[in-house]
Structure 1
Amino acid sequence: MVVEQLEFDLEPSHLSPDYIVTKSNVLIEMPLSLDLQEMRIIYTLISLIQPEDEDFKTHFLRVKELAEILDIQEKNYYKKIRDVVVGLQRKQLVIRENGGESDLVVNWLSASRYHHRKGLVELEFSPQLKPYLLKLKKNFTYYKLSNVLVLKSKYSIRLYEILKRYLSFGKKRFTIEQLRHLLEIEKDKLTHYGHFKQRVLLRAQEELAEKTDIMFDFDEIKVGQKVVSITCYIKQNNRKKLQSSNDPVFEDDSAYNLLTRFGVRSTTAKELINTYGEDRVLANIRYVYEKKQDVNIDNISGYIVKAIREDYVNTSSDYEEEDDLDFETSIPQLNARINSLIERYHEQIRLSSNADERRLKQEMAQKIVDEIETTIEKRQNKNLRPLDTVDFEHPYARELYDYLLDHPRY
């Protein structure tokens, strides 16, 4: 009787490529033991996690929608989905914890259930994964689900999220062995660098530039005639528009669901809708999609809330359009300069004496402030909108900007 009642209470989770995947960097920088279809299911499931979730929820996914996500063309996709889920249920990952003092061996899923008559799959993450997927405050990477769903190679997906993790640094050096390990390339596969370059690096380079929000170039480092490592140069891809206000998410979901999906707390979501109405809320979410999709917004929920409160969709016409390639005014490029400064000074501070540490920190803060103030002036000259705290990727930059707002003559 309980099972029968459960059957009636099933409520399918709404899926959208515009939802956000947020993962601890621990999971970004380790092998995941997943094939292409399993990755797509796991990342879709991660995108359903909301920032305020204290525990993992059980999600009911429509088999038909999963077939579309997995790009399964066979007529008998029910059996194919079942096979993928059964295989995923067995998959484990090994997480090195406590500085290497212990290893956590855990299954991705705690349980799965296939509801034949309802056309639903029931999935839930293992509770041991909570520190790596729930309520992340630092050392995490996030991206829109659409970026990985469009990629056709598991190597491209893994390379995308690894490079996304280092986007704010602008570059990352990998040994070939390190990359092979992260991408889980078997020891007897693609052993010749030329094959590895052609089938993994160049293919991913083309796919990411064509389909995602980042792109990369790379230099090869050789010892003699052998390529032993590569340096990847990573940047925002401003050529590809990924979002559309015609996306089904706007047709099938309410303003409240959209707000909570993108990290706005439920109390704030209700307050915004009650104060401004559904039409204004939805219009400003569309505005963020259409106008700001290429901007690497660290605090997407804060940005959306501000857009609604200030009604960006009706007030932004007073300002000129952003040019993310303009070195002097671009917000992404300002963030890149700030992140580079912080990275460089942190390395100097790490190697410095206690006597020099205070001086270096003050010097770093002043240079960041100089960058911000110069950019503010250039943006004013070109009639671009004022900077906002949520525009800054690094928490320290946000802290300094807030200080500048309170102390404009600093």
Structure 2
Amino acid sequence: MKQGIKKRTTQENKEIEALERISSSSYMVVLGNPLLNARFDLTAFQMKIFHFLVLNTDQTSSGFKVTKVKVSEVSQFLKTKTSDYLYNLLEKESRKLMKKEIFLEDERGWKVANILAQIEYHKKEGAFSFLFPPMLDAYLLQLKKNFTYIDVRNIVSMDSVYAIRFYGFCKEFERFGKFQFTVEEMRRMFNLENKYELYGLFKQKVVVKAQDELIKNSDLIFDFNEIKEGKKVVALQFVIRKNPNKTQAQLEVETNPTSQEAEDSNYEVVESNTQPNFESSTLQRLSGIVQVWGIDSSTLQNWLEQYPIEQVILGVEYVQTELEKEPKKIKNIPAYLKTIVSSSQLVERQKAVEEEKRVLKAVLKKSENEKLQLEQLKQQQDDFLHEVYKQKKKLVLESLQQNHQLYQRVLNSLNTSAFSAIYYDSYVSKVGTEISLDSFLAYFNENTGFEAIVITTLEHYHDLNLFEGLVKHYGAQAKALGLNYF
């Protein structure tokens, strides 16, 4: 090594690696591991928005700065079309993010922070400005150790927040090939102490659902083994594998669809009704469940050949749920399961439920769109009336300055009206004996109530026709907005 050239430390190499990985892809973010293992309660949509905001943050800076993103960019990230519904959804969810807390722990202790420090909507630009709180800078900025790279393309199509969390774990522990959590640790991280209290439900709704979604959407997948104390499952060991059906090349293709695919796409921001991925890992999982009930693999395989695989899965899940409710309710589980699996009732019921959800969602969306249209019209009317009022005030000031006797006429009108005398008395009380055009204009400009009553009074002076030009200029626009007068 030449003299004068300093050898880089391991930490410096990691810092350079992080910077290179961020700059190598416009889809890569770097997250501190305590953030991945933190306790918080977010929806899948909120998690995606959080990742999008991190993606648009300069992670090489020394502190957070206010960053502006366009709704069209969010739409592209989420693979949806830009619409009033998306604007409204982003407004609601970003405001919820402002209130969400994240509980962070590391070797030094714990801390609690809000996920966002501020958010602002810029209507004319169709954009949002956001700012992360300073407490998160140790987990998002200039990371030198204890961090994980996330390619956000793996999570944008996931419908389960647990799948997004598990993908983060898989990336964090990818170099080890496995990781392990106790059931209580997972409940705490996911904020589920009072939900899915039966282990079977927790396993099905959280772990298995995440497993299926990773198989469908991400480059990493996992298998898991249960660790028991007696008959109770106390922990899960996860084995991480590459997903043979979701390579980096496929991510690139999905991110850059052909022009025809882009033209055919017409996505809405709605929950996807994803079906389980029926690969070997799913079948192995089913086999593991039914073997406990005394049903061998050949019987399961025979059912899969006779009936739709969805029907078999629903049947197994149904019996599993029934046993969790009342373990001794079913006397002959194999016979009972065979009856359930051979019937299409569960599939038909699920389709009926899904159709009801679809119809309800469509009704709610229509109602939401109508509400948004009314709100938008109200805002347009308010903006229009504000603009007209500004023009009226401008005309009044010009007329008062051109006609020095006009203010006296207005004062006389105010003084002789029981309704407006209070404004006359207020003006006289303010200026005393200094009644003049200058004092009138000064009070007009500093007192909104006096300003409004003066303009209203001048509107009734038909001999002046002071606002005739405004009526002609703004009449058509007022009519288009449903305003009969302004």
Structure 1 residues 97 and 214: alpha-carbon distance in aligned structure 2, compared to 1, 3 A threshold? closer
Q: Which runs of 5+ in 2 are unaligned?
A: 1-24, 260-486
Give the deviation of 1:190 after TM superposition.
Answer: 1.0
Report the counterpart of residue 25 of structure 1 in structure 2.
33
> 1:44 is matched by which residue type in structure 2?
F
Does 1:138 find its partner at 2:145?
A: yes
Write the mapping of 1:117-196 to structure 2, written as runs, cut at 5 A: 117-185=124-192, 187-196=193-202
Counterpart CA distance in 1 for 2:258 and 2:26 is: 11
Equivalent residue for 1:88, pick from 88, 97, 104: 97
TM-superposition CA deviations, 1:281-323 (whole Å, max 9, x none): xxxxxxxxxxxxxxxxxxxxxxxxxxxxxxxxxxxxxxxxxxx
Give the deviation of 1:250 after TM superposition.
Answer: 12
> 1:95 is matched by which residue type in structure 2?
L
Write the mapping of 1:18-97 to structure 2, written as runs, cut at 5 A: 18-67=26-75, 69=77, 75-96=84-105
Counterpart CA distance in 2 for 1:153 and 1:37 is: 9
Counterpart CA distance in 1 for 2:155 and 2:85 is: 25
Structure 1 residues 243 and 84: alpha-carbon distance in aligned structure 2, compared to 1, 3 A threshold? same
Give the deviation of 1:66 after TM superposition.
Answer: 2.6
Report the counterpart of residue 225 of structure 1 in structure 2.
231
> 1:94 is matched by which residue type in structure 2?
F
Give the deviation of 1:22 after TM superposition.
Answer: 0.8
Aligned residues: 233
Give the deviation of 1:67 after TM superposition.
Answer: 4.5
Say which SS state the counterpart of residue 215 (structure 1) adopts: strand
Q: Which has the higher contact order (CA 8 A, sep 6+)?
A: 1
> 1:157 is matched by which residue type in structure 2?
I
TM-superposition CA deviations, 1:242-286 (whole Å, max 9, x none): 4326845999xxxxxxxxxxxxxxxxxxxxxxxxxxxxxxxxxxx
Tell me the TM-score normalized by structure 1: 0.52
- Is contact 1:67–1:81 with CA below 8 Å preserved after alignment? no
Give the deviation of 1:68 after TM superposition.
Answer: 5.6
> 1:146 is matched by which residue type in structure 2?
R
- Is contact 1:37–1:70 with CA below 8 Å preserved after alignment? no
Please tell me whether Structure 1 or Structure 2 has the larger radius of gyration of its CA atoms. 2
Say which SS state the counterpart of residue 41 (structure 2) adopts: coil
Counterpart CA distance in 1 for 2:115 and 2:258 is: 31
Report the counterpart of residue 244 of structure 2 in structure 1.
238
TM-superposition CA deviations, 1:162-206 (whole Å, max 9, x none): 222111111112111111112222x23111111112111111111
Counterpart CA distance in 1 for 2:89 and 2:56 is: 23
- Is contact 2:64–2:131 with CA below 8 Å preserved after alignment? yes
Structure 1 residues 202 and 87: alpha-carbon distance in aligned structure 2, compared to 1, 3 A threshold? same
Say which SS state the counterpart of residue 243 (structure 1) adopts: helix
Equivalent residue for 1:213, pick from 216, 219, 226: 219
Counterpart CA distance in 1 for 2:224 and 2:253 is: 34
> 1:43 is matched by which residue type in structure 2?
H
Give the deviation of 1:151 after TM superposition.
Answer: 1.0
Give the deviation of 1:156 after TM superposition.
Answer: 0.7
Pick the structure with more helix per residue.
Answer: 2
Structure 1 residues 130 and 167: alpha-carbon distance in aligned structure 2, compared to 1, 3 A threshold? same
Structure 1 residues 181 and 83: alpha-carbon distance in aligned structure 2, compared to 1, 3 A threshold? same
Structure 1 residues 245 and 176: alpha-carbon distance in aligned structure 2, compared to 1, 3 A threshold? closer
Structure 1 residues 247 and 68: alpha-carbon distance in aligned structure 2, compared to 1, 3 A threshold? closer
TM-superposition CA deviations, 1:73-122 (whole Å, max 9, x none): 8753222211111111122223346622xx43322222111011211111
Tell me the TM-score normalized by structure 2: 0.44
Does 1:115 find its partner at 2:122?
A: yes
- Is contact 1:159–1:183 with CA below 8 Å preserved after alignment? no
TM-superposition CA deviations, 1:186-234 (whole Å, max 9, x none): x231111111121111111111122111111111112222211111111
- Is contact 2:32–2:146 with CA below 8 Å preserved after alignment? yes
Report the counterpart of residue 104 of structure 1 in structure 2.
111
> 1:223 is matched by which residue type in structure 2?
E
